[in-house]
Amino acid sequence: MRSYIIAGNWKMNKTVAESIALAEEIVAKTKGISKTEVVIAPTYLAAAKVADVIKGSNVKLAVQDIHWKDQGAYTGKVSVDMVKEIGAEYVIIGHSEQRQYFHETDETVNLKAKKVLGAGLKPIICIGETLEERNGGKLESVLTAQVEGAYKDISGEDALKTVIAYEPVWAIGTGVVATDEQAQEAQRYVRSLVAKLYGESTAEALRIQYGGSMNPGNAAGLLAQKDIDGGLIGGASLKADSFFSIIDAAEKR
Ligand code: PEP
């Protein structure tokens, strides 16, 4: 039985002080949460402080990216050892904004996934099609290339430690959410890809989140779908109340 994982991606929002305050509110609200895994991904700058705030709570720390190199002359980048040291458990990789604005490719997603797994952390691997690709009948071929690319040379044992976030690009930050049926259909297909790579039992155990304008109003419907095991939440994770409503919808299922 897969447990739900609800992760908040704060992106380039919140100062350090605001991040601490939001983390404190989320810690307080999630005291009674027992079945749902709750994860927050502040900016790098705030991550160490937020790690202190969530220590001993039901909330886990993620960061929004890493570089696949161990160290060196990579201005602006952060290594996996750095984020491990401050207590991060998850690393978001392959987000569509990284793919769109910062040259992330399936190859760099794979390099990062292997680096994260090698350090004993867990990647949240983001995939998803643009509207043009969906309308052009390329949904399945895009998802196939992204999943096969991300998991190249990753063992079945390691694959089980990963989470996939299916995020249709046209739904991210747009307020246009995929229908329950569209999301389920795509996520069922993603699970079938995992089954092809690693077999049915791994595919049944691996968690697949939905991301893209998930909010308190649509979360219950999406989370009720068979192949949706949680959410990667952008905008609605920036306020404790709306983020908690989504967590609560998962917890009550
Ligand atoms: C995201 O960026 O991963 C995301 C899902 O954003 P939003 O919830 O704002 O669409």
With vertex at residue 30, the alpha carbon angle to CA 29 and CA 34, rounded to the nearest 5 degrees, is 155
**Identified catalytic residue from 97, 104, 167, 251:** 167
85-107 pLDDT tens trace: 999 999 999 999 999 999 999 99
Q: What is the pTM of this model?
A: 0.98
How far apart (Å, rounded) are the C-alpha atoms in residues 62 and 193? Answer: 26
- Going from the Cα of 211 to the center of ligand 1, the distance in angstroms, rounded, reads 6
Work out the percent of the chain whose per-residue pLDDT is above 90.
Answer: 100
The residue contributing the CA closest to ligand 1 atom 1 is 234
**Identified catalytic residue from 95, 97, 104, 251:** 95
178-218 pLDDT tens trace: 999 999 999 999 999 999 999 999 999 999 999 999 999 99
Relative to the CA of 165, which ligand 1 atom is closest?
3
- Going from the Cα of 238 to the center of ligand 1, the distance in angstroms, rounded, reads 11
The domains of the chain, with CATH numbers, are 5-251 (3.20.20.70)
Contact 227/191 with Cβ under 8 angstroms?
A: yes
Our mutation pick for probing the ligand 1 site, out of 213, 237, 238, counting the most ligand atoms within 8 A of Cβ, is 213
Our answer to whether residue 167 is catalytic in this structure is: yes
